[in-house]
Copies of this chain bind each other. A is one copy, B any other.
C-alpha cells in the first residue's frame, strides 16, 4: 500500500495530473476534510483546548478507561509526579457522631420520610427564601466525596432578576428547537405525562436558580495557575453532590427541580463568565411551590423492584 501511494504521489508530482484532475480531486478532498472535522468535533466537543492528553512515555496517552478521559498538561510532563494533595499522617476516625436520631433505624426511617416527601416542582411561589438556608444547603452538598478529593464542583447561585431573565431567554430559545426538532418523538411523548414544554416559567418565578457546574479539570495552584490537575470521575462526583444538595433542600423544606438544559451549557457558561474547565451539569430552581402547584400523579417503584439481595 505504502509503495503504491508513493508511486501515486510521484506520478502526481512528476506529471501534470494534479492540475489536470484537480476537478476530481478537489471535491474528494473536501469530503475527507468534512469527515475528519466531523469526527474531531464529535470526539473533542466544541472546546478542543480542554482535552490535552498526558505525554508521559511510559503510559498510554489519552487512555480512556471506563469513561475517564485522562487530561494532562503538555507543558508539565512530570516523570516523577507529585500528588495533588499533601501527604500527611492519617488521623483516627471513629465514625458518625452527628446523626438524625439516636436509634439508627429510627434515623433511617426519618430520613426516608423526608426524602419520600419530595416532589419535582415546576411552579414556584414568589415567597422569598432566606439566602442563608440555600447557602447552607450548598455547603452541605460540598461535603460530598469526590475522586481523589478533587471537589470538582462550582455552584452558581442566581437571585438577580435580570440574570434569571437572561437564563430563561437562552433556555427557552434552545428548548423550542429541542422539542420541535432535536428530541426524538418518543422522548417528547415520554415527557407528555409530566406536561413539560419549552416554556419554563419557573426560571423567573423561583427566588433562586442554582447552576451546578462540573469542573472537568482543575489547577494544582488554587490561584488558577498553569499546572493542571486531573479531576477523576468529575461528573459522577458532581452528581452525587447534587443528590446531597437535594437531600439538604428537602430537609430544610425547600422545593426544587433537577433540569438538564439541553445544548444550553456553553451559552450559560458564557453568561455567568465561568472558566473553560467548567461545564454545566444541572440547573435547579429553588423555592416554595406556588399555591396552585400541581404534580404528576406518579408512584415510585416499591423497594422490591429496586433492591436485589445476595
Across the interface, A159 reaches (CB within 8 A) one of B232, B294, B310, namely B310
Q: Which of A135-192 touch B at CB < 8 Å?
A: 135-145, 147-149, 151, 153-160, 163, 178, 182-187, 189-192
Q: How far is the CA of A298 from the CA of B84 in the complex (A)?
A: 12
Residues 220-258 of chain A, each 1 if its beta carbon lies under 8 Å from chain B, else 0: 001000000010110110011111111110111111011
A190 neighbours in B (Cβ, 8 Å): 83-85, 148, 230, 232
Q: How far is the CA of A38 from the CA of B35 in the complex (A)?
A: 9
Across the interface, A272 reaches (CB within 8 A) one of B100, B109, B258, B308, namely B308
Does A48 touch B at the CB level, under 8 Å? no
User: What 7 A-B pairs are tightest by C-beta distance, nearest first?
Assistant: A243-B243, A239-B239, A90-B294, A247-B247, A35-B35, A100-B251, A108-B136
Does A19 touch B at the CB level, under 8 Å? no
Q: With A66-B265, A143-B118, A236-B281 known to touch, is A310 a contact of B156 (CB < 8 Å)?
A: yes
Q: With A94-B293, A115-B244, A243-B246 known to touch, is A8 a contact of B23 (CB < 8 Å)?
A: yes
Q: Which of A112-136 touch B at CB < 8 Å?
A: 112-121, 130, 132-133, 135-136
A residues contacting the other copy or chain, number (CB 8 A)? 163
Contact A310 B113 (CB under 8 A): no
Q: How far is the CA of A242 from the CA of B241 in the complex (A)?
A: 9
A89 neighbours in B (Cβ, 8 Å): 297
Across the interface, A145 reaches (CB within 8 A) one of B17, B92, B246, namely B246
Contact B254 A243 (CB under 8 A): no
Residue of B nearest to A31 (CB): B32
A202 neighbours in B (Cβ, 8 Å): none
Q: Which of A291-310 touch B at CB < 8 Å?
A: 291-298, 300-301, 303, 305-310
Contact A230 B187 (CB under 8 A): yes
Contact A140 B111 (CB under 8 A): yes
Across the interface, A32 reaches (CB within 8 A) one of B8, B35, B70, namely B35
Across the interface, A193 reaches (CB within 8 A) one of B65, B85, B182, B194, namely B85
Q: Which of A2-23 touch B at CB < 8 Å?
A: 4-5, 8, 12, 17, 21, 23
